[in-house]
């Protein structure tokens, strides 16, 4: 009888002991979360956002400078070569112009379509399906090209011969730059044809099915900027084959 009494006592003691431990644990985790990590993180984010804004402002200035320099250089070159008054050189100049237009190194303007895609607002059963993936963008672009788009950009990043569109965490990498959703795809081409066929395409209905927002807009005039970076990273390993 005496042993049972002690066992009972011990069980009660153990239960209360554990209760106490959990109580403090619960309190502590709630407290530490509230006043430590939370505030630290949001102030860290603020700091980064401020830095980001500074960099963006600088980017604007640098782009303006770049534009001016390129224009100056271009003008002085053209002026010089034209003054040579040589038919061969005229031909070279027009070849240069065409090549630049083909390869995305010229700002182009024309009618076209703007496609905006955003992650689903309400997450359905499967989180993965509610988010935009690299292949979704690749497939949309492929539809644009099938319908004879002449120039394409994604979030203002010109789509070039070697452009990759690849998921990297919550962002997508294009021309080695990282962009979060939403994605704005601009295409110059026959607006009616592209619009109609895009609306009919499998990929668009698939995305809409999963709750991903896809907006397609026809425009009379879209300007697509040239690629303003250096193209070295896209040709550094290519050697011309010597003709034999």
| 4-43: contacts with other proteins (CB under 8 A) | 8, 11-12, 15-16, 18-19, 22-23, 25-26, 29-30, 33, 37-38, 41-42
Identify residues 71-110 at the interface with other proteins (CB under 8 A).
72-73, 76-77, 80-81, 84, 89, 92-93, 95-96, 98-110
Segment contacting other proteins (CB under 8 A): 52-60, 115-123, 124-132, 192-200?
52-60
Contacts of 223 by beta carbon, 8 Å cutoff, 6+ apart? 107, 108, 109
Q: How far is CA 239 from CA 14, 104, 160, 176, in A?
A: 77, 21, 19, 22
Out of 35, 164, 199, 217, the only residue in the binding site for other proteins (CB under 8 A) is 164
Identify residues 114-143 at the interface with other proteins (CB under 8 A).
134-135, 138-139, 142
Question: How many CA atoms within 13 Å lie on the side-chain side of 72?
Answer: 6
How many residues contact other proteins, by CB under 8 A?
106
Q: Does 210 bind other proteins (CB under 8 A)?
A: no
- Sign (positive/negative) of CA torsion 7, 9, 11, 17? negative
Q: Does 153 bind other proteins (CB under 8 A)?
A: no
CB of 132 to other proteins, least distance (A): 14
Comparing CA positions, the residue from 124, 144, 127 lying closest to residue 198 is: 144
Q: Of all helices (H) and strands (E), which one includes residue 151?
A: strand 151-154
């Amino acid at each position: 009888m005496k042993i049972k009494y002690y066992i009972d006592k011990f069980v009660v003691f153990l239960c209360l002991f554990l209760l106490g431990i959990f109580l403090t644990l619960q309190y502590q985790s709630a407290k530490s979360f509230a006043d430590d990590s939370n505030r630290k993180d949001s102030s860290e984010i603020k700091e980064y956002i401020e830095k980001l804004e500074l960099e963006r402002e600088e980017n604007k200035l640098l782009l303006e400078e770049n534009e001016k320099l390129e224009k100056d250089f271009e003008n002085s070159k053209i002026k010089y070569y034209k003054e040579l008054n040589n038919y061969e050189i005229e031909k070279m100049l027009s070849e240069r112009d065409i090549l630049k237009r083909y390869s995305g190194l010229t700002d182009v303007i024309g009618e076209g379509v703007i496609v905006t895609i955003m992650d689903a607002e309400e997450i359905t059963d499967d989180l993965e399906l509610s988010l935009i993936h690299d292949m979704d963008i690749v497939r949309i672009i492929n539809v644009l090209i099938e319908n004879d788009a002449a120039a394409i950009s994604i979030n203002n990043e010109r789509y070039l011969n070697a452009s990759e569109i690849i998921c990297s965490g919550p962002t997508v990498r294009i021309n080695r730059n990282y962009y979060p959703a939403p994605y704005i795809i601009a295409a110059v081409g026959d607006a009616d044809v592209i619009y109609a066929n895009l609306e009919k395409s499998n990929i668009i209905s698939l995305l809409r099915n999963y709750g991903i927002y896809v907006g397609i807009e026809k425009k009379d005039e879209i300007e697509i900027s040239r690629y303003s970076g250096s193209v070295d990273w896209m040709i550094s390993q290519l050697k011309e084959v010597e003709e034999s």
